[in-house]
Structure 1
């Protein structure tokens, strides 16, 4: 799932988290942050498979518009609940609903891109989509962190809601011809179940798509660990709050933006699988180096490099999947991918929450880096041996 779309609202949620954990030790803060990420990831496991099946049945354009408008309304509820309820549980409920709606937005967005451009333009289109998203992310997290620090969390939620409203209106202006399934195929639980199984079987049987799914599972697992631990470390251990996190997220966004620009220009000449494996190896080295970082500058530098490498990995992975997947099942295949990678994200967030209460954060970074290096090296050796 595309989490960068929600960075501004997550910045405001972290502001609420800091209020809830004021005076609590670093080790006890990790589980609280874990809960925040848990409720934003759980919907993907529950609803993404079903969402993908219906995305292939509905108008993808209308799905995108409806999802943006629903998220705009739901996010407006968060500051109201924060003002009238104690604790975070009601807010967790709204977070759950927001990301449930996103389960329909993400596969629809990935599935509609090949309907807008020619096949030879897919990599450039995915790069451009990534670039515009990252520009919005950089502006959002920078402004979000400052707004939360200066005015509190409410204004950040209001602006994030407005951004989803504007996104929906922008999509409304896009002209696209969509081929929808025959009318008689649009009902029936049995058929929906068969289509879901078809999407999962496609990933399992298509060797190159299975490689993409496995690689993204590993990469997102490492991302889940890093996302949780870096957030807690910067906001609590370094005591830099949302401003520190904004700096970190801005470096991440700049790195991803640079990676998208360069890969979008030169990437067509490089085999997609090589980009994915090589990128994972470099991310492994960076994760080990992050373990020794004890200042915001070094963390920002390391995260920026990871963003620079991770962006081409994601573009290559999604472009390869789009190239190999027939249009009629593209929505459910991308939903299945969402389940695979986000189940990894969710599982390893819980692992990080458990380990964070027992091990130093630096040690967990070392273990994460070694895990990435082992997977990348093994994949490289197997590929070299077969060749």
Structure 2
């Protein structure tokens, strides 16, 4: 049962979801496991490079991405047929077990094939986990608290993701590879322990009634289709810019491009943190669709102008704006999808949302990489900015988006 008294449910503000014991436990465990994930992400390149070369690293990262995409539909289906909490629990325990096995794979008796198999399993289990995580939120919070809960959750995850590289770097410098993997495994065990203590306030129906399957709902809901389409296109045109075009641009235009890249990512992370928190407040505004479209226009204009911004302060400010827009857009889109989806198929809807955002990134990375190689990073920023503006125009033509 919830530890929130009836009069507390009407309390406004971002902190209202934290009054629910189940939500606190869920988020605390996931913040810890996110920190462990970031430590693993920092350590993985060094682990692979000690056993192989840059080509092997590219293969391992590809395997991780493929596993995530493949796991998302399975996770959504299991969340609807089983329960989001049980799916998350199995995924956390599974990841802990795989990481323990990877300790052996990175030892003298191990090798790249064993490491690759473990990477695929980790990606698969992460893909299974994500839809269940977003599907459990509406069972822990009241509808009016959902946007605030998503905002608080995302903000804490962003904070953990920002701290993770620093912690991971220190861990790799002071601990062995086996110890780093063991620490990451421990974070998943702790996360699993917190899930055991989570109790839903409202259980989702065990099965979907006739006519409420995912494809039937998708055919009826123009808003869902529009949000999924715009989320995928936004990934294709914007997100990959930060990982492909930006570092190359900075390396060409700054003597200390690596340090500047770190500053840029820090500025973007700060904006993202502010944006996720602000999203919990702006959700109360009417016509949220117009707000989202306006933020997309700002995002596109900033990307288009980025290569012409002088000095260092202006680009850093632009990164804050980009992060702010991304934070608001992600929470608003997530909350919108959660609220319009029938509880019986929420896991599968969140799986679709997860899959389109995950799958779009590697495709975008390849496309942006081709543009950078042939025309330079400046052209990539121009193409990316125009792409985001095109997404906003497409969205503006959809009545479902305008009235969201």
Q: TM-score, normalised by structure 1?
A: 0.78
1:365 matches 2:381 = yes
CA RMSD of aligned residues (A): 4.0
SS at 1:268 equivalent: coil
In 2: Cα distance, 1:283 partner to 1:85 partner: 49
- Work out which structure has the larger RCO, using CA pairs closer than 8 Å and 6 or more positions apart in sequence: 1
Partner residue of 1:337? Answer: 353
SS at 2:199 equivalent: coil
Q: Is the 8 A contact 1:148 1:156 kept in 2?
A: yes
1:307 matches 2:323 = yes
1:217 matches 2:248 = no
Partner residue of 2:12? Answer: none
Partner residue of 2:218? Answer: 203
Q: Is the 8 A contact 1:78 1:91 kept in 2?
A: yes
Partner residue of 2:43? Answer: 12
Q: Is the 8 A contact 2:264 2:319 kept in 1?
A: yes
What's the CA shift for 1:175? 2.2
In 1: Cα distance, 2:198 partner to 2:311 partner: 45
What's the CA shift for 1:319? 0.8
1:54-73 correspondence runs (5 A): 54-73=78-97
Partner residue of 1:286? Answer: 302
Residue deviations 1:110-138 (CA, integer Å, cap 9, x gap)? 11111111111111111111122122222
Partner residue of 2:117? Answer: 93
Q: Is the 8 A contact 1:14 1:242 kept in 2?
A: no
In 1: Cα distance, 2:193 partner to 2:345 partner: 27
In 2: Cα distance, 1:86 partner to 1:377 partner: 52
Aligned length: 369
The unaligned stretches of length 5 or more in structure 1 are 23-28
Residue deviations 1:240-276 (CA, integer Å, cap 9, x gap)? 8998776555433322211122222343114332233
SS at 1:358 equivalent: helix
Change (3 A) 1:180 1:379: closer
In 2: Cα distance, 1:245 partner to 1:163 partner: 29
In 2: Cα distance, 1:302 partner to 1:83 partner: 44
What's the CA shift for 1:47? 3.4
Residue deviations 1:274-331 (CA, integer Å, cap 9, x gap)? 2332222222233334445799877655444322111111111111111111101100
1:160-309 correspondence runs (5 A): 160-177=184-201, 179=203, 198-223=213-238, 225-229=240-244, 233=248, 248-291=264-307, 301-309=317-325
The unaligned stretches of length 5 or more in structure 2 are 1-30
Q: Is the 8 A contact 2:245 2:368 kept in 1?
A: no
In 2: Cα distance, 1:240 partner to 1:145 partner: 20
Q: TM-score, normalised by structure 2?
A: 0.76
